[in-house]
Every structure is written in structure tokens, then in C-alpha cells.
Amino acid sequence: MADDRADFAGRVGAQLRIETTDAAAIAALAGEHLDLVRAPFTLPRSRILVFREGDGVRVHTSEYERSLAECRVLDTLIVRDRGGAAQPITRVLPHVIEFGGVVDLTFAGPGALTLGLRAGAEAAAIIEWTTPDGALTRIELHGENTAVRIDIGADRGVRHAASDSHLADLAATEAIWLDWFSRCPRVRRDLQAMTAFCWWVLGANIVELPTLGRARAVVPSKIGYVGLWQWDAYFIAVGLRHGDPDLAREQLELAFRFPSPDGQLPDVVHELGVLATSDDLPPGDRENLRRAGSAIADPSAPVPLTKPPLAAWALAKVLEVEPADDWAREQLATIRRSQDWWFAESDLDGDGMPEYGHPYSSGLDDSPIFDGPLPTTAPDLGAYVVLQDLELARFAERFGDADAAAHRARAERTLGLLLDLWDDERGLFRARAAGTDVASDTVVGLMPLLTGHLPERIVDRLVAALADERRFGAAWAVPTVALDDPDFSPERMWRGPVWVNTNALVVAGLRASGRAGLALDLAERTVALVMHGGGPHEYFNPITGEKAATATTAFGWSAALFVDLAVGLSGAARS
């Protein structure tokens, strides 16, 4: 029996190794980051997360707007030898956790874990786990009984049974990950290990949304954000395009699949539907807003919720690596309507330039520009709609299916209104809260660089602000709030910490504004930050370059944009 199994594993292993030596090496590089604390053990399409707990592990499910504490499945799972001594975790690879060289834990498909004696191991072992109701289960593996399979239902229910397919499951799990890593972009030597980990993050964050069949959503984080957030999907697609353009297109398609009748794209597509207005806010979220004394917790009428209009920008990037014209035309129809929605339904003061009706629609939820009353006129939104109209004009010229001149004319008009927000004295683009100037000096004021059409004089001033050690020239740039702003905090979300997406947008803005050297420099500093901080976290302290305490880890767009910047810096990017 043992020989048969070893033979089966050997055959499957040899087959895989012939094609995937390289992928195996990249998987091993990624494995070095799988500490089971910041990066849990998981599988593409699976909702199961395995974290380190004492000598063993604990298991959770990953669910939309539910905390890990609410999603407990196994509070402890320990592997013991025959004498009862706990076997430590000796190695973690993307497809396996090894306990003391005796037992392997792997997946048996997306809905189950399996633990089995290692091939050839004569030893026996005891597997012991507790469920949140306190019940203890103890299984002995020896003789004919070499593995146990633990099925975990969507309702977090647990069932177990003896298994004789453990080695086949191990091989199948390894094959899934090797296939994934075979697509990992090859980059500059010093960036390869972090690129491998970031590529793991993107694969690890794949879930199925039950209402959408077999579609694969790469979520921002299986730990904290389980759904497809509109602008996260754009950034994630921009990273994925380098290794898996199909999956990149799938993200955009899901993001564009549920526009409202008037063209608005939803903030989030999730397993229960969409989050498109304040009426759809999950109770926990609304409660947090109430506790913070926020006026937006209970608006008198539903407020639309969306994310910034960077859809055409993302589409253009995804098409750069692989043209898909028919598909692109279909998506463009939706993007055009969403762009029109901003002007028709979200120009809340009727001056011709759209406003944010809710902080969530900006993606920079907690930025001090939203401390005052709504709606908020914001230079980032002005810049994004100009950029999107320019992209739409280019697409109209390419496909001959829309009025390019109309898009350019609107871009020009909006640019004029955007320039009205320039404060020459302070050298910044200001936001306005319900018509009143906001004093805050934040990263949104750098986004007009993206238009590529600012007067040189203004570009010079923004470049100077980026270098200024009192403003954005932090040890680890670019802080989301200027260092000398009274609202600056190095740790609070969107009130100081560095985010990889805003950095990537500033990189793109510098390039669009003819400052390619500075763009390159910021790209280098951004990948250096992620490596210094130990991974693609959600946001980073701009003073220390470490993960901010409240930031989540293994974060989708940080991983994707690290990959995108790394490919660019390695000379292989097409843009």
C-alpha cells in the first residue's frame, strides 16, 4: 500500500516537474512568505483560511462583510505523535503545510482540507481539533487509516471522514498552484521573490461568487474584503494582465456587469448582490459610521455609492497586452454610460464638474477632505473624469463607434473647471466641501498630473511639493496627507499612510506630465517600500515604512500594482 502510494505520488510529481521546474522554484519563493499570520494557507476559489495557532493551526471561512472572529470553523487543530507530543509546523509551501515531517495538510478541492501521513512515513499520528462549540475530535492515523478529510460547508458546518485520496488531493493542489505560478511574470532579479509572493496573493484571493456561477473574482483580501470592489478590480486587472490576461478581463467584466438603469457602476459586487446605494450598506458598516458620529450613517434619501471613474484607464492597460476588440467594444458601452452618469447625476452643484456625493465613492473614505459637509468637489475626481474622457476619445477613434470630438470637448471643459481649483499661493489643488474651500493638503491634489495637460508652471509646483520634506517628501513617499497638515497621522487610514494605488497613480501622472525620470524614481521607491515593509499590505506608515497597525495584509491591489511596477522597472512592460 505504502509503495503504491509512493509510486503514484512519484509519477504525478515527475509529470509536473517536467513542465514546471521554474514554477516550482517561484512557488517555493512565495512559500517563504507564508507565515500563516499575515498570509494564511488557502487555495484559489476556496473560502477556507488556515492560520497558525499555538503549536497547530486554526481554520476560518472568508465571507462578505464578516470578521474572521465571526467566521470560526476550527479553533485549534493539532497534529500529535503516538506519544501525544505536538508536532510543529516544519514547512509551508503554497500547496502544503508539513507537520514534523509526519503529516501533510492540503486541500481536497476548494471546500475541504485533508491531513494524511506523509508518503513512506511508517509512523502513526493523532489529529485533534476543536470546534467553536467546544467539541473535541480525535482521529488516529495508522495502518490502513492514513488520512482524514474535513469538509467545511458554506454554513461553516464541519464533517469528517477517512480518506484514501490524500495523495491525489496533494498532487491536484500542487498542480493548481504550479499552473498559477507558471504564469508569474519574470522580473528583475531583486524583485523576483516579492513578485512571486504578490502573484501568490492574487491567486490566493480568488473566490467564486455563488450567484455568478464559476466566475472568478480576485477580491481585495480574503481576510477583510470579500467581494469585487469596483476600483480594486481595475488595479488588480492591471497587475494580472502581465500573467493572466483572461483573468484580468474577467475582473473588468464582473465590475461592469451590474450598472444601474441610469449607468452608475456599483461600489461592490458581492455574493448577495451589489452595493450601489447607501441603502445597501451592511448593518455593521452603518453602525460604525453611527458610532463615529458620521452624518452619512443615516442619509434622508439613498445616496449612490460607486468608485472613481478609472474604468477606461484600466481597460486600455488590459488591452495593451492582448487586443480583444469585440470584447472591448462591449465593455466600452457600459463605461461610456457610467462616465455620462457622473456628469448627469453626480454634478451636484450643477457647475459642469462632477462631485462626490459620498466619501466611499472616492475610494479615500477617511480622507480629511470629507471632514466637512457633502458634496465634495475634488481635484482627483476632476482629473479622473478628464482622463476618462481622453481615453474614451482614443477608443472612439480606434473603433469608430462613438463621438471622439464630444469626449475631447468635455475633457477640455472639465480641465478648465479643474484649473479653477488651483491655489497659486499655497501651490495646491484644493477640494471644496459644499462650495467652501477645504484647507487640507492631501494626495488628491496631485492627481491632476494624470490629465497630462497642466500648465508647466503648475507641474513644476506639484513636483516641488513631492520633493518638499514638509509636504510629500516623506522618508517613505507618498503620504496621503502632507506631513505638515494638521490632519496628518502616520497610521490612520487615508490620513497619512502610503497606499500603493495612489503611488501608482502619481507615477502615471508624472509620466503623463512629461516627468519620466521622476516617475521611474517613485516606481523604484514604491517597490522598495513593499519589500521593506515585508509584503503587499493595505497601507504603510510613511515614517517607518512598516505596515500600519490597522492595515490588512496580502492585499489585492498592493500585490497587483507591485507586479505592474516590477514588470515596468524590469523593462518588460508595454507601458
Enumerate binding residues for ligand GLC (CB under 6 A): 220, 225, 229, 231-232, 363, 365
- Distance between CA atoms of 163 and 126, rounded to whole angstroms? 15
Residue 167 or 530: the one with the smaller Cβ distance to ligand GLC is: 530
Alpha-helical (H) ranges within 186-324 are: 189-204, 230-240, 245-255, 283-291, 311-321
Residue 231 or 313: the one with the smaller Cβ distance to ligand GLC is: 231
Cell numbers 471632514 correspond to what residue?
Answer: 371
| Shortest Å, Cβ 231 to ligand GLC | 6
> What letters, b where the CB count within 10 A reaches 16 and e where it falls short, cover 429-461?
bbbbbeeeebebbbbbbbbbbbbbbbeeebbeb
Mode of pairing for the β-strands spanning 56-61 and 72-80: antiparallel
Residue 98 or 380: the one with the smaller Cβ distance to ligand GLC is: 380
Residue 99 or 225: the one with the smaller Cβ distance to ligand GLC is: 225
- Distance between CA atoms of 138 and 84, rounded to whole angstroms? 11
Residue 198 or 459: the one with the smaller Cβ distance to ligand GLC is: 198
Residue 87 or 346: the one with the smaller Cβ distance to ligand GLC is: 346
| Shortest Å, Cβ 229 to ligand GLC | 4
| Shortest Å, Cβ 272 to ligand GLC | 17
| Shortest Å, Cβ 264 to ligand GLC | 16
Task: Decide: 506 and 478 in contact? Cβ < 8 Å.
Answer: yes
Task: Return all residues near 50 (Cβ < 8 A) that are at least 6 apart.
Answer: 36, 40, 41, 42, 57, 58, 59, 97, 105, 113
Residue 94 or 308: the one with the smaller Cβ distance to ligand GLC is: 308
- Distance between CA atoms of 276 and 219, rounded to whole angstroms? 17
Residue 200 or 225: the one with the smaller Cβ distance to ligand GLC is: 225
What is the H or E stretch that residue 274 is in?
strand 273-275
Q: Report helix, strand or coil for 422.
A: strand
Q: How many CB atoms lie within 10 A of CB 490?
A: 20
| Shortest Å, Cβ 260 to ligand GLC | 18
Determine phi and psi for 379, rounding to 5 degrees: -65, -25
| Shortest Å, Cβ 300 to ligand GLC | 23
| Shortest Å, Cβ 364 to ligand GLC | 6
Residue 181 or 499: the one with the smaller Cβ distance to ligand GLC is: 499
| Shortest Å, Cβ 363 to ligand GLC | 3
Q: What residue type is 181 in one-letter code?
A: F
> What's the grid cell of residue 155?
454554513
- Distance between CA atoms of 252 and 257, rounded to whole angstroms? 8
> What's the grid cell of residue 224?
477583510
Q: How many CB atoms lie within 10 A of CB 549?
A: 8
| Shortest Å, Cβ 258 to ligand GLC | 16
| Shortest Å, Cβ 116 to ligand GLC | 37
Cα→Cα distances 353→338, 367, 450, 451, 452, Å: 15, 20, 17, 15, 18
Residue 221 or 388: the one with the smaller Cβ distance to ligand GLC is: 221
Residue 166 or 495: the one with the smaller Cβ distance to ligand GLC is: 495
- Distance between CA atoms of 110 and 190, rounded to whole angstroms? 33
| Shortest Å, Cβ 556 to ligand GLC | 7
